[in-house]
Amino acid sequence: MAADILIVDDDVDFLTVLRVQLESRGYHVRTAESARAARELLRAQRPDLVVADLMMEEPDAGFSLCHQIKRQDPTIPVLLLTGVTAETGLRFDAETREERAWIQADGVLAKPVRPEQLEAELHRLLPNGP
Amino acid sequence: METLRVLVVDDEAGMRHAVVRALRGYRLHLPDVEGEVGFELEQAASGEEALELLAARPPDIMLLDHKMGGMSGIEVLEQVVKRELDVLTIMITAFATLETAVHATKSGAFDFLAKPFTPDELKETIRKAAGHLLTLRQARKLAAEKRRVRFEFISVLGHELKAPLAAIEGYLNIIRDRALGMDVAAYEPAVQRCLIRAEGMRKLIMDLLDLTRIESGQKRRELAPVDFREVAAAALETVRPAAAERNITLGLEPGEPQVLTADRGELEIILNNLLTNAVKYNRPGGRVTVRLTGDADRVVLAVTDTGIGLTPEEAAKLFNDFVRIRNDKTRDITGSGLGLSVVRKLALLYGGDATVTSTPDVGSTFTVTLRRNAKPPVVDDGKSRTVPLAAGN
C-alpha cells in the first residue's frame, strides 16, 4: 500500500501543487487547511509522514502541531515548512542537536520548496519509498 | 511612582546635605507622566568618587559642582559624555558667569544652577530636568514600539508576498514537468489559479500603496468640500460590472447631499474597499445597499450586503492588518487582508471609526463614521517619517 502523507498548509494552492507532485511519485496524499483540520485527520488514520507549514491559524501553528504529533506518536516523521525565516530572524535549519530537540521536527524546509528537495527529504525519512 | 536617582557631587559636605534635605521627600507631577515622580539621593565628595559611582550604577540626574579640589566638574562631565552615559547633568557653579555656563552646556550639561540657590530654585531646576528626562525616555520607548510594529508588519508582508509567488512557481513546475500528462486541458485549473494568485498579489500591492499614502502624513492630502453621495454613486458604477457578473443588485438609497471636508481620493478608497467586499462576499443574486445619513457633525456611511456574514469572533479582528477570514466559503475569494485595515485607518483620520455588524449566512453591514470637519491629524515630524508603515492596531 502506498505511503500515506498528510500535508497541512493554509494555502490551498500549495496543497494542490504538493498533492500533484507527490501523487505523481506514487504517494497517497491527504490534505488539511489548518492545524485543527489536521488533528481530525490524524485521529482518523495514522499517516506515514506529515508535512506542515509553520505559519497557519497562528504564527506557530505548525510548531504546536508538530509537538502534539510527537507527543502522541514519536515515530511519525514530521517535515516543517516555513516561508519566513529571514524576516523573523528565526533560524529553523535544525543544524544542532539542541535545536532539533527543541523543534522536534525531523526536517525543516524553506519555502518555496523545490520538488527535488522535497523528494530527497521524503526518501530520507521514508527509505522504503512510496 | 517613578523614582529618579540623583547623584550630588560636591566637595563641600554642607552643600551636599542641603541638596539632599531639599530633595528628600520632594514629589512632583509631570504632564504626560502617570503618577508621582520621587527622588532617591546619593552623594560623592569628589570627582573621582563620582566616576566610581557612575561606573557602578549611573544615576538619572547628576548635580555636579563645577569647582572642586582634585578633578573638576567639567572633567567629570567629559567622562560622562565620552562613556555615553544616560545621565542628565546639572552643573553647580559658584560664579554664575555666562562663560562657565556656556562652557558647561557645550560640554554636555543639560542645565546649570548658580550658587547660592534656594531650595525652590533647586526644585525648579530638578523639575525641568526630570520632565526632559522622562519625556525623552517615553519618546524612545515609543520609537522602539514603532520599530517592533513595523518589523512585525514587514514579516507578515514578506509571507503574504511570497505565498502567491510560491503557488505560481509550484503550478509552473507542474506544467514544466507535465505532471498531469500530455492533455493540455488538464492544466487549465492550474493556469486559472496562477492568474487568480497574480491578481491577489496586485491587489496587495495596491492596498500597500494606499496604506503608505495614508501614513505618509497629510502633506499630499487635498482637503475640500466633497459630496459623499456623489462619490458613492461613482464608486457604485466601478463595481457594477463585477456585480452584474454574479447577478447582484446595487442600490444607493436616495437622501440628502452629505457634504464634508475631505480628500476625495480617500473617500474613494473607503467606498471601493467596502463595495468590492460587499460584492465579493455576496451570494449570487444578492443585494448591496449603500445608505448615507448624517447630522450636523458627522456623516455615516452604511454598506449592507446579503453575503456569507461573519461570526462575532471573526468580526472582532476584521479591521486588523492582514486579517483574512479563511473557511470553505472564502477559499476562492482573493484579497490582501489590508483593505478593511485601510478603511479603518482612514476613518480614524477623519475623527471617526469603522465597525461591522453581521449575521453568518445572512449578511453584514459595514458602518463608517466620518466627521464633517475633522481636525487635521498631528503630522509626524520629519524624523519619524520612515518609521510607521503600520501604526495602530
pLDDT level of residue A108 (50, 70, 90 thresholds):
confident
Helix, coil or strand: residue B249: strand
Q: Is residue B98 scored above 90 in pLDDT?
A: no
* B195 contacts chain A (CB < 8 A): no
Q: Is residue B122 scored above 60 in pLDDT?
A: yes
Selecting from B154, B163, B174 the residue whose C-beta is nearest the C-beta of A20 gives B174
Cell of B147: 520599530
Rounded to an integer, the average pLDDT of B302-314 is: 91
Question: In chain B, what percentage of residues exceed pLDDT 90?
Answer: 47
Cβ atoms B359, B309 nearer than 8 A? yes
Higher per-residue confidence, B77 vs B218:
B77
Say yes or no for a CB contact (<8 Å) between A111 and B173.
no
In order, the DSSP letters of B310-335 are --HHHHHHTTSTT----STTTTT---
DSSP state of A58: S
Q: Is residue A91 scored above 70 in pLDDT?
A: no
* B169 contacts chain A (CB < 8 A): yes
Contacts of B169 in chain A (CB under 8 A): 112
Say yes or no for a CB contact (<8 Å) between B193 and A16.
yes
Higher per-residue confidence, A63 vs A99:
A63
Q: Indicate left, alpha or beta for B11 from its phi (over 0: left) and psi (-120 to 50: alpha).
A: alpha
Query: Under 8 Å CB-to-CB from A10, ≥6 apart: which residues?
Result: A33, A34, A53, A56, A57, B326
* B192 contacts chain A (CB < 8 A): no
pLDDT level of residue B393 (50, 70, 90 thresholds):
very low
Minimum distance, in Å, between the CA of residue B167 and any CA atom of chain A: 6
The reported pLDDT for the residue numbered B381 is: 42
The reported pLDDT for the residue numbered B220 is: 67
* B176 contacts chain A (CB < 8 A): no
Q: Give per-residue pLDDT as tens, B338-390.
A: 889 889 988 998 999 999 999 998 999 999 999 998 876 554 444 433 333 34
The reported pLDDT for the residue numbered B219 is: 53
* Cβ under 8 Å to A: B residues 134-163: 154-155, 158-159, 162-163
Maximum Cα–Cα distance for chain A, whole Å? 41
Nearest to A35 by CA among A16, A19, A17, A52: A52
Mean pLDDT of chain B: 86
Provide the ipTM. Answer: 0.76
Minimum distance, in Å, between the CA of residue A28 and any CA atom of chain B: 16
The reported pLDDT for the residue numbered B377 is: 56
Q: Give per-residue pLDDT as tens, A1-15.
A: 789 999 999 888 999
Minimum distance, in Å, between the CA of residue A21 and any CA atom of chain B: 7
Q: Candidates 3.90.1150.200, 3.40.50.300, 3.30.1330.60, 3.40.50.2300; correct CATH number of A11-84+96-125?
A: 3.40.50.2300
In order, the DSSP letters of B96-163 are --HHHHHHHHHTT-SEEEESS--HHHHHHHHHHHHHHHHHHHHHHHHHHHHHHHHHHHHHHHHHHHHH
Higher per-residue confidence, B147 vs B376:
B147
- Looking from the CA of B100 toward its CB, the CA atoms found within 13 Å total 18
Rounded to an integer, the average pLDDT of B245-259 is: 90
- Distance between CA atoms of residues B305 and B310, nearest Å: 12
Q: Is residue A42 scored above 70 in pLDDT?
A: yes
Q: Is residue A90 scored above 70 in pLDDT?
A: no
The reported pLDDT for the residue numbered A54 is: 83
Contacts of A34 in chain B (CB under 8 A): 326
The reported pLDDT for the residue numbered B100 is: 76
Contacts of A13 in chain B (CB under 8 A): 167, 170-171, 193, 197
Selecting from B159, B179, B190 the residue whose C-beta is nearest the C-beta of A24 gives B179
The reported pLDDT for the residue numbered B96 is: 57
The reported pLDDT for the residue numbered B251 is: 92
Say yes or no for a CB contact (<8 Å) between A20 and B331.
no
Contact residues of A toward B, CB < 8 A? 10-14, 16-18, 20-21, 24, 33-34, 55, 83-84, 86-88, 111-112, 115
Rounded to an integer, the average pLDDT of B153-169 is: 82
Kindly report which listed range (B96-110, B244-258, B337-351) carries the lowest average pLDDT score: B96-110
Q: What is the CATH number of domain B143-384?
A: 3.30.565.10
Higher per-residue confidence, B155 vs B92:
B92
Rounded to an integer, the average pLDDT of B122-149 is: 89
**Interhelix angle A12-23/B188-215, nearest 10 degrees:** 150
Q: Is residue B287 scored above 90 in pLDDT?
A: yes
Q: Is residue A85 scored above 70 in pLDDT?
A: no
Say yes or no for a CB contact (<8 Å) between A21 and B163.
no
The reported pLDDT for the residue numbered A23 is: 92
Say yes or no for a CB contact (<8 Å) between A13 and B174.
no
Q: Domain coordinates of chain B in residue numbers?
A: 2-117, 143-384
The reported pLDDT for the residue numbered B256 is: 84
Rounded to an integer, the average pLDDT of B255-263 is: 90
Minimum distance, in Å, between the CA of residue B157 and any CA atom of chain A: 9
User: For residue B179, what is the nearest residue in chain A, using CA coordinates?
Assistant: A24
Higher per-residue confidence, B160 vs B356:
B356
Q: Give per-residue pLDDT as tens, B181-233.
A: 999 999 999 999 999 889 888 988 988 888 887 777 655 678 899 999 999 99
Contacts of B193 in chain A (CB under 8 A): 13, 16
Minimum distance, in Å, between the CA of residue B179 and any CA atom of chain A: 7
The reported pLDDT for the residue numbered B144 is: 86
The pTM is what?
A: 0.62
Say yes or no for a CB contact (<8 Å) between A11 and B165.
no
Cβ atoms B163, B126 nearer than 8 A? no
Cell of A66: 508538530
DSSP state of B283: P
The reported pLDDT for the residue numbered B95 is: 65
Domain B2-117 has CATH 3.40.50.10280: no
The reported pLDDT for the residue numbered B387 is: 35
The reported pLDDT for the residue numbered A98 is: 67
Higher per-residue confidence, B389 vs B123:
B123
Higher per-residue confidence, B306 vs A81:
B306
The reported pLDDT for the residue numbered A84 is: 60
Say yes or no for a CB contact (<8 Å) between B162 and A112.
yes
User: For residue A116, what is the nearest residue in chain B, using CA coordinates?
Assistant: B173
Contacts of B177 in chain A (CB under 8 A): 24, 115
Say yes or no for a CB contact (<8 Å) between B326 and A34.
yes
The reported pLDDT for the residue numbered B380 is: 45
Q: Domain coordinates of chain A in residue numbers?
A: 11-84+96-125
Kindly report which listed range (A21-25, B102-106, B177-181, B265-269) carries the lowest average pLDDT score: B102-106
Q: Give per-residue pLDDT as tens, B34-60.
A: 788 999 999 999 999 999 999 999 999
Q: Is residue A25 scored above 70 in pLDDT?
A: yes
Cβ atoms A115, A14 nearer than 8 A? no
Kindly report which listed range (A76-85, A97-106, B2-11, B62-71) carries the lowest average pLDDT score: A97-106
pLDDT level of residue B166 (50, 70, 90 thresholds):
confident
Say yes or no for a CB contact (<8 Å) between A21 and B179.
yes
The reported pLDDT for the residue numbered A55 is: 76
Cell of B187: 492544466
